Amino acid sequence: MAEWQRTHTCEQLREEHVGQTITLNGWVLTVRDNGHQIFIDLRDRYGLTQVVFNKADNAELFTQAKELKSEWVVSVTGLVRKRLEGAARADISTGEIEVEAKTLRVLNQCPPLPFEISEFGSELANEDLRLQYRYLDLRRRSLQKVLILRHRLCKVIRDYMDAHNFLEVETPLLGKSTPEGARDYLVPSRVFNGEFFALPQSPQLYKQLLMISGYDRYFQIARCLRDEDLRADRQPEFTQLDVEMSFVEREDVTGIMERLAVDIFDKCLGVKLSVPFPRLSYAEAMSKYGCDKPDLRFGLEIADITDIAGASEAQFFKDAVAAGGVIRAINAKGAAAAQDAKKAPLFSNTALKPGGELAKVTETYRAKGLAWLKVEGGKFTGSIEKFFSDELKAKLTERLGAVDGDLLLIVAGPESVVCDALGALRLHLAARLKLYRNWWEEKAEHDESEKKKADAAKKKKENYAPVPFQPRAEHFNFAWVLDFPMFGWDDEEKKWAAMHHPFTAPMDEDLPHFWQNESLGKVRAKAYDMVLNGYEVGGGSIRIHRQDVQSRVFEILGMNPEEAKARFGFLLDALQSGAPPHGGIALGLDRWAMIIAGTTNIRDVIAFPKNQRARDLMTGAPAQVDDRQLKELGVKLS
Amino acid sequence: MAEWQRTHTCEQLREEHVGQTITLNGWVLTVRDNGHQIFIDLRDRYGLTQVVFNKADNAELFTQAKELKSEWVVSVTGLVRKRLEGAARADISTGEIEVEAKTLRVLNQCPPLPFEISEFGSELANEDLRLQYRYLDLRRRSLQKVLILRHRLCKVIRDYMDAHNFLEVETPLLGKSTPEGARDYLVPSRVFNGEFFALPQSPQLYKQLLMISGYDRYFQIARCLRDEDLRADRQPEFTQLDVEMSFVEREDVTGIMERLAVDIFDKCLGVKLSVPFPRLSYAEAMSKYGCDKPDLRFGLEIADITDIAGASEAQFFKDAVAAGGVIRAINAKGAAAAQDAKKAPLFSNTALKPGGELAKVTETYRAKGLAWLKVEGGKFTGSIEKFFSDELKAKLTERLGAVDGDLLLIVAGPESVVCDALGALRLHLAARLKLYRNWWEEKAEHDESEKKKADAAKKKKENYAPVPFQPRAEHFNFAWVLDFPMFGWDDEEKKWAAMHHPFTAPMDEDLPHFWQNESLGKVRAKAYDMVLNGYEVGGGSIRIHRQDVQSRVFEILGMNPEEAKARFGFLLDALQSGAPPHGGIALGLDRWAMIIAGTTNIRDVIAFPKNQRARDLMTGAPAQVDDRQLKELGVKLS
C-alpha cells in the first residue's frame, strides 16, 4: 500500500478509533479557517469526516492547508480524536470524532468549476449545463444515493429471480429490423455493405425462442432502444426487466411478479406491500377510472348515469344518448364546499364554465361540455338542475351517494371521449383536493421540518439527529389490469393494430370472434398490465404458442403470408417445432428506479442520460464521423 | 391452475411421491413401444421422468400415446409408482420411479425436425444448420448446461462485487465515435440527420468519469461491440466484466480480482484455487516463455545462451550476435528419447530439418533456422555439435540442465523473432509431449470410461451410477503479467501506439523517459494482464488522473491539441475537476464462460451467436431495410 492510500473511508471512524493514526482520501467539501485552525469536511462516497489543521501545532502544514479549495482531492494522515464537548454532530455517523492532520498530500487540484455542486433543487444550475458536466453533477449526494439505490434494486431483482429458478440469458444487441410500432435504430454493417442490423426494442422474440428451446424460466435486465421522438420521461435507450416462463397461465406470471414487488419494496424502501394486488378488468378500469392505468390512491370513481340523465329534460343529454353515447359522472366529495388557503371556494362557478379550470380539463379531451350540480342544504343547485325531476334527483343522489358539499361533474358523449375526459378530470380533482401524497413530497416536508428542529437545537447549543423519513405502504397502490382488447382499429391506416403486441394470445373464450373478420373488436387478449399510482410499471401477456394462431394474427394485421414469412419466418418455424405454452412480462426499470428513488426526472436514475433532444451533451454524441468510416460502411449522407 | 399445468418438474419425483397423482409438462425425448406398453422419457430443463402407458389398463390412452413423436410437448397426469426390480436407473435422479399415465394432453405437435437433436459431437449436424435453427440446437442438454453455468458465473460475480461495495452502473450504448484501435459500429440518428452515435467498444471513459464523480467502486457486466474482421473465437458483440476503483494501486486491483477468481472457481466448478497468483514482469514473460500470456501449466522455459552459443564456432550464431540479436534455447526434457504410440521416435531428425514438424513452427515466426542438439550417453549429437568446445558444452549442459534423453532447441536472431518462434515452439512441444491436459479433455475420457462401466453393469443386470468428473486446481494456472511497455512503435504508420490504451498511466520511475521524445520505448505502463493457461483472461491498468500526463500521451500518439480536445475534451476537462487516482480492469466474460464450461467454441457460451462471418443465420440479420427507414435517417447506400 502506498503511503498516501487510505486506511479507512470517510464514513468509518468512530469513538473506538480515537488515538489511532489513520489516512483518509477524499474530496474537500468545505474549508473553514478561523485564523488558528482550519477545518475541512472531507467527503467520499461513503460519508464525511472533519479534519483539523492547528496553526499552533504545525505552522507549515497549516500554511499548506490554507491552499485547499473545494473539490480538491487529498490524502490526509492524522490522529483520530474525540470532538470537543458541544462540537459533536448527531447528523453524521462520524460526528463524534475528528482527525487532527499530521500530513497533507494533494492528489489533484481543481480550478473553480463551471457551477457549484449543490444539493438543493432551488440552487441547481441549469440542467443542460449539468448534463454537459455530468461527472460534476454526479457528485451530488442525492444523485449518488439514486444510483446506489438503482444498484440495490437490480441486485434485489437478480437475487429474487435466481432464487426462483430464472436464468439470466443475454440476447443480442445486433438483430434484425422488423418494423412494427416504434422505430428501430439501424446499424450499417461493414462486412455486409447495404445491409443493416437493428438494435432491440425489446428481447421479445428471443425470449420466446428460449421458451421453445426449453429454458423454462428466463429473465434479463436488458437494454432496449427506440428511435422515437422523446417525451419528458423517455430516453432513446432504456432498461427493462424482461421475464418469460413456460407452462404458465396469467396468474403464474402475475403472482411471481407481485411477490417480486413485495421483495423490492421491502429491501429497497422498507415498505411492506400486501399481495395479491387488486385485479380489475380493462372494461372496469375504463368505466370506473376512465383509463387503463388507474391511480387507486383515491376514490372519485366514475359512475354511469346514462339512464338517469338521459331521462332528464336536457336536450344535450338526450342527443348524446341518441347518438349512442354515454353520460357519466364523478362525485367530487366535498368539492363544492372546499376552500383554498384564503378561504375562497376552491372551485368557483367560473372554474366550471367553458374554458374554466375544470371545464378546460375535459375540453382537452374533446368533451363538448362539463355539466355540474352542487349539493347544498339537501338540494341541487346549478344550471342543469332545472332539467331533473325530483324522482331523477333522488336516483342521482342514490347512484352517486351525493351529500351536502359534494360537486357532481357530468360529461356526455361517445364513450371513449367520456372516459378520457372524466379520467383526466379525476386526476385533476384528486391533485387539487389533495387526496393523495407522493412519498417524496411528504419526505421533502418531513426533511424540512427536521432541519428546522436541528437548526433550533443548534441555536440552543443542543444536538439533534434528524429522524429519517420512512415511506409507507399507503403511498403505493398497485393493481393488475386484465382482459385488454386484442386489437384496436387504426382509423388513419384503416386497419387493425395489436393493442399489446402481435405475439399476445387471444382469450380462449373469444376464439370464435378471433377466427371471424366481423367481430375482431370483441376479441380480448391474455394481456396484463401492472399499474402503480397511475403509471404502467409493467406489461405482459400469455403468448401465442400455436403457429396457426400466430399466422392468423399476422393476417389480421394486414400481412400477407410472404411478408409474414420474410419478417417472422423463424418464429413461425419455431412455433411448429414443439413450442410450449408460455408467457411473460417486462417491467420498466427506469420507472421503478424513479419511484423508489422518489424522483420525477428520468435523467436522475441514469448515470449518463441523453437530454430531451436525445443528445449527449457531455460527449457531444451523436456527432459527424470521418468519410472513411462511412465509406467502409457503404453508406453516404443524403 | 389449469388442469394441464404441471404439479412437479421432470426432475422432482422420488420414492416419497409414490402413490401420488401428479402432472408433468415437457418434451417427449424418446418413445419405446413394446406392443403392450409405451415408455416415454419426458424432458424439461430440470430433468427426465419415465412415463408408462399400459395397453391393458387403458386401450384408448395407449392408442393416443402411439401418436407421440420426439419433441412433442405434452402434459401427462398419472400415478407415481416405484419401478420394477432391475428397472431402476442410477444415472438419473428420478430413476427410482416412473409415472403411470392416466391422462395425456398434447400441448403442441412437432413435425420431423431439420436435424436430430443429439448430444454427441460426432453426431452433431453442420454448425451453420444448427445456427439457422438455433432454438432447436439450444435444446441440447450440453448447451443448456453451459447457459445455466453462464448464469451462475454472472450471479457469483455480482454477489462478490456487491459484497465488496462495488456498484453496478449502466453506461450508455449510444455514445460518441472516437476512432482508435478497433472499428466502431455506427448508428445513424433520425433526429440529427448526418450525425452518428457509436456503440461502445468498452465503457472505459464512462467508468473513469464515474471515479471522477466519486463513485469509488464501479462494475458492470457490459456488452461491447467491435466492427472487426472476425476470428474463430471472436463475436461482433461480446461481454466483459468491467471494473474500476478509486484511490488504488495495482495490487488493490489484482488482489480483488484474484479473490474473485477464487470465488468463481469454487462456486462454479468446485475448484479451490490458491492466491496470490504468481506475478511476472512482461520482460520475464517474454524471455522465459516468449510471449506475454504464458501457459504456466508446464515448464519448458526458454534460456538465454547468447554468451555460450555466440562464443562457439558457428558463423550463424556469431552473425546473429553481431547484428544485435540473441540466441535462446529450450531444453525439451526427454524429447530426444520420447517415442510415439508405435515406439518410433516422437521427433525424428526429419522433424528438425527445415520444413520439418518442429522447424516449421519456428519458421512461421520468421526464424531463420532451428538448431538442435540431442543428449545421449552424456554426449551431444547433432549437426551443430562440432561448433562447440568441451568448455562451451559444459556451460550449455549446466545452463540448460541437460541430461540424457533431452533435446535442446536453439533459435538465433532479433529478440522479437526469437521470442515469437520459441514461444510457439514451446506450446507445440508441450502439446506433443502431453505436458498438460485441458480439463474438458480429461473429462471426456473420464465420462467415456464411466459410460463403459455403466454399459458393462447393464449387461450384468446391475446398476451403476457414473461418477461425475471433478476438475482440479492443477488444471488452471493463473498468473499476472506486469510492467508492460507503455508504447510500441508502429512501423507501418511510423508513429507510437499505446500498448494497452491511451488512458494507462506510465510507471512513476519511468516518468523521465515519458517526458522526453528520445526514450519513449523505455517507458513502462502501470498495466497488468490476468493470464490463464496461455490465454489473456483480463487486462487492466492504473489510469492517468492528471490532465498534463493525459495530454502528453495524446501528443505522443500524434494528436495535436485541437484534435485531442475535439475527441477527448470532456475527459481532459474532467481530469482537471478533481480526479482521484484510479485504476481498473476488464475480464472477457465469454472467455471465462468457455473455460468454466470446458468448451473451445465461443458460440457455445452465447445464446444467439453470430456465425464466423458476423451473420445471424436464424433471423438473417443483417438485412436490407426499407427505403423509407433510410430516408428518415438521412443516409443512402453508396
* Best residue of B76, B619, B629, B633 to probe chain A, by most A CBs closer than 10 Å: B619
Contact B123, A560 (CB under 8 A): no
Set of chain B residues whose Cβ sits within 8 Å of the Cβ of A43 = 214
Task: Measure A526 CA to nearest chain B CA, in Å.
Answer: 14
Contact A36, A54 (CB under 8 A): yes
Per the CB < 8 Å rule, is B168 touching A155? yes
Q: How many residues does chain B have?
A: 638
Residue B590 is assigned to a ligand binding site: yes
Contact B467, B461 (CB under 8 A): no
Per the CB < 8 Å rule, is A155 touching B169? no
C-alpha grid cell, residue A621: 454524441
CB A416: neighbour CB atoms within 10 A?
A: 14
> Residue B635's closest CA among A404, A523, A181, A193?
A193
| DSSP secondary structure letters along B181-195 | SSPPPEEE-SSSTT-
First to last CA, chain A: 57
* pLDDT value of position A302: 98
Nearest CA in chain B to A224: B173
Beta bridge partners of A598: none
Per the CB < 8 Å rule, is A183 touching B629? yes
Task: Measure A326 CA to nearest chain B CA, in Å.
Answer: 38
Question: Which residues lie closer than 8 Å to A388 by C-beta, 6 or more apart?
Answer: A312, A313, A380, A396
Per the CB < 8 Å rule, is B206 touching A139? no
Q: Which of B147, B198, B578 sits opposite A110 (nearest CB)?
A: B578
Between CA B289 and CA B280 the distance in angstroms is 11
| DSSP secondary structure letters along A395-438 | HHHHHHT--TT-EEEEEEESHHHHHHHHHHHHHHHHHHTT----
Query: Looking at this protein, which amino acid is placed at residue B564?
Result: A
Instruction: Specify the CATH number of the domain A15-108.
Output: 2.40.50.140
> Residue B225's closest CA among B242, B241, B235, B237?
B237
> Residue B511's closest CA among B562, B481, B546?
B546
Set of chain B residues whose Cβ sits within 8 Å of the Cβ of A633 = 186
A130-275+583-638 adopts what CATH topology? BirA Bifunctional Protein; domain 2 (3.30.930)
Contact B243, B253 (CB under 8 A): yes
| DSSP secondary structure letters along A266-282 | HHHH-----SSPPEEEH
Nearest CA in chain A to B580: A73
Q: Which SS3 state, helix, strand or coil, does residue B435 take?
A: coil
Set of chain B residues whose Cβ sits within 8 Å of the Cβ of A203 = none
Nearest CA in chain B to A75: B247
Task: Identify the H or E element spanning A487.
Answer: strand A487-490
| DSSP secondary structure letters along A323-390 | TT-EEEEEEETTTTT-B-TTSSBSS-HHHHSTTSHHHHHHHHTT-S--EEEEEETTEEESTTGGGS-H
Q: Which of A72, A194, A622 sits opposite B196 (nearest CB)?
A: A622
Contact A199, A173 (CB under 8 A): yes
Chain centre distance of CA B332: 28
Phi, psi for B318 (deg, rounded to 5): -60, -45
Task: Identify the H or E element spanning B266.
Answer: helix B250-269
Q: Which SS3 state, helix, strand or coil, does residue A129 take?
A: helix
Task: Measure A185 CA to nearest chain B CA, in Å.
Answer: 7
Query: Looking at this protein, which amino acid is placed at residue B305?
Result: I
Per the CB < 8 Å rule, is B5 touching A72? no
Binding-site residues of A sit at 180, 226-228, 235, 500, 536, 543, 588-591
- Long-range contacts of residues B508-514, Cβ cutoff 8 Å, at least 24 apart: B510/B486, B514/B486, B514/B549, B514/B552
Residues of chain B with pLDDT under 70: 120-122, 179-181, 230-232
Strand residue runs (E) in A162-216: 167-168, 186-188, 196-198
Per the CB < 8 Å rule, is B110 touching A577? yes
Question: Which residues lie closer than 8 Å to A405 by C-beta, 6 or more apart?
Answer: A333, A334, A335, A336, A337, A338, A375, A376
Dihedral sign for Cα A610, A615, A619, A621, please. positive
Q: Please tell me whether the interface predicted TM-score (ipTM) of this complex is above 0.90.
A: yes
Nearest CA in chain B to A177: B625
Between CA A426 and CA A557 the distance in angstroms is 34
> Residue B577's closest CA among B211, B250, B205?
B211
Q: Which of A162, A251, A577 sits opposite B71 (nearest CB)?
A: A577
CB B509: neighbour CB atoms within 10 A?
A: 9
> Residue B282's closest CA among B297, B266, B269, B293?
B293
* pLDDT value of position B567: 92
Set of chain A residues whose Cβ sits within 8 Å of the Cβ of B184 = 629
Q: Which of A72, A173, A636 sits opposite B635 (nearest CB)?
A: A636
* pLDDT value of position A179: 67
Between CA A393 and CA B278 the distance in angstroms is 90
Measured N-to-C along each axis, helices A141-163 and B141-163 cross at an angle, to the nearest 10 degrees, of 140
* pLDDT value of position A491: 86
Between CA B535 and CA B476 the distance in angstroms is 11
B128-288+583-638 adopts what CATH topology? BirA Bifunctional Protein; domain 2 (3.30.930)
Query: Looking at this protein, which amino acid is placed at residue B271?
Result: V
Per the CB < 8 Å rule, is B187 touching A199? yes
CB B109: neighbour CB atoms within 10 A?
A: 18
Task: Measure B428 CA to nearest chain A CA, in Å.
Answer: 34
First to last CA, chain B: 57
Q: Which of A151, A172, A622 sits opposite B192 (nearest CB)?
A: A622
C-alpha grid cell, residue A259: 411477490
> Residue B608's closest CA among B147, B27, B145?
B147
Q: What is the largest CA-CA distance in chain A?
A: 94
Set of chain A residues whose Cβ sits within 8 Å of the Cβ of B237 = 172-174
Per the CB < 8 Å rule, is B621 touching A168? no
Per the CB < 8 Å rule, is B174 touching A622? yes
Dihedral sign for Cα A26, A28, A34, A36, please. positive
Q: Which of A239, A620, A633 sits opposite B176 (nearest CB)?
A: A620
Q: Using the CB atoms, write b or e for A66-84: b if 16+ within 10 Å.
A: eebebbbbbbbbbbbeebe
| DSSP secondary structure letters along A572-586 | HHHHTTTPPPEEEEE
The secondary structure of B82-126, three-state, reads ECCCCCCCCCCCCCCEEEEEEEEEEEECCCCCCCCCCCCHHHCCC
What are the pLDDT digits (tens) for B487-534? 999 888 899 999 889 999 999 999 999 999 999 999 999 999 999 999
Domain boundaries, chain A: 15-108, 130-275+583-638, 298-432
Task: Measure B44 CA to nearest chain A CA, in Å.
Answer: 6
Residues of chain A with pLDDT under 50: none
Instruction: Specify the CATH number of the domain B298-432.
Output: 3.30.1360.30
Binding-site residues of A for L-aspartate sit at 180, 226, 500, 543
Task: Measure A96 CA to nearest chain B CA, in Å.
Answer: 24
* pLDDT value of position A470: 97
Between CA A158 and CA A162 the distance in angstroms is 6
Q: Which of A194, A223, A246 sits opposite B624 (nearest CB)?
A: A194
Q: For B464, left (φ over 0), alpha (ψ -120 to 50), or beta?
A: beta
Per the CB < 8 Å rule, is A175 touching B621? yes
Between CA B636 and CA A587 the distance in angstroms is 36
Between CA A192 and CA B593 the distance in angstroms is 29
Same fold, A15-108 and A130-275+583-638: no
* Best residue of A28, A29, A68, A108 to probe chain B, by most B CBs closer than 10 Å: A108
